[in-house]
Amino acid sequence: MPDLIHDGDSAAAVSSLRSAVMLLGRRLKHQRVDESLSPTEMSVLGTLARCGSATPGELARKEHVQPPSMTRIVALLEAKGLVRLEPHPDDRRQKMVSQTEQAEAMLAESRTKRNAWLAQLAEGLDEDEWETLRAAAPVLEKLAHL
């Protein structure tokens, strides 16, 4: 196994990555498209859009949140008509959570608004820098889900 991150450059990169991710994350929290939806609620909708449907437990693991938190989030989303809860076919302990059409529409709108915000931010980057970021996006996503 290559000793990926134990040289000086990579150590610096790790530090840089960490602080940038945390700072950007904090700023993104304030850019919510729908004031009534928390960042994690948005993220759950995103996950459902990718994965189809899932149980609360699966969602909690994917979002790295404790099960009770996911219970609350799912309940709020259901109250807003953004997800549907159905009984699990094989296991009556579990539930199946899936998004509604309303959620899909909201996600599309949200994507547009988020892009506008990031576009404004990205105007401070030059073409090369943006290209670098574009290449890194899928890798970052993979890393986040490891």
Partner DNA sequence: GAGTGGTATTTAGTTTGGGTAATGAGTTAC
Partner DNA sequence: GTAACTCATTACCCAAACTAAATACCACTC
Interaction site with DNA (CB under 7 A): 26, 38-40, 55-58, 60, 64-75, 85, 88, 91-95
> What gap in Å lies between CA 42 and CA 28, rounded to an integer?
12
Q: Does 102 bind a copy of itself (CB under 8 A)?
A: no
Tell me the C-alpha distance between 134 and 115, whole Å: 13
Segment contacting a copy of itself (CB under 8 A): 53-61, 73-81, 82-90, 125-133?
125-133
**DSSP assignments along 97-141, one per residue:** EEE-HHHHHHHHHHHHHHHHHHHHHHTTS-HHHHHHHHHHHHHHH
Residue 145 found at the interface with a copy of itself (CB under 8 A): yes
Binding of residue 19 to a copy of itself (CB under 8 A): yes
Q: Which residues contact 102 (CB under 8 A, 6 or more apart)?
A: 81, 82
Instruction: Work out whether 118 is an interface residue with a copy of itself (CB under 8 A).
Output: yes
> From the CB of 79, what's the least distance to a copy of itself, in Å?
23
Residue the block writes with tokens 């892009």: 115
Q: Assess contact for 57 and 16: CB atoms under 8 A.
A: no
Query: Which DSSP letter does residue 1 get?
Result: -
* Binding map of a copy of itself across residues 49-78, x = CB under 8 A, - = no contact: --------------xxx-------------
Residues lying near a copy of itself in the complex (CB under 8 A) are found at 1-2, 4-6, 9-30, 39-40, 43, 46, 63-65, 111, 114-115, 118-119, 121-125, 127, 129-130, 132-146
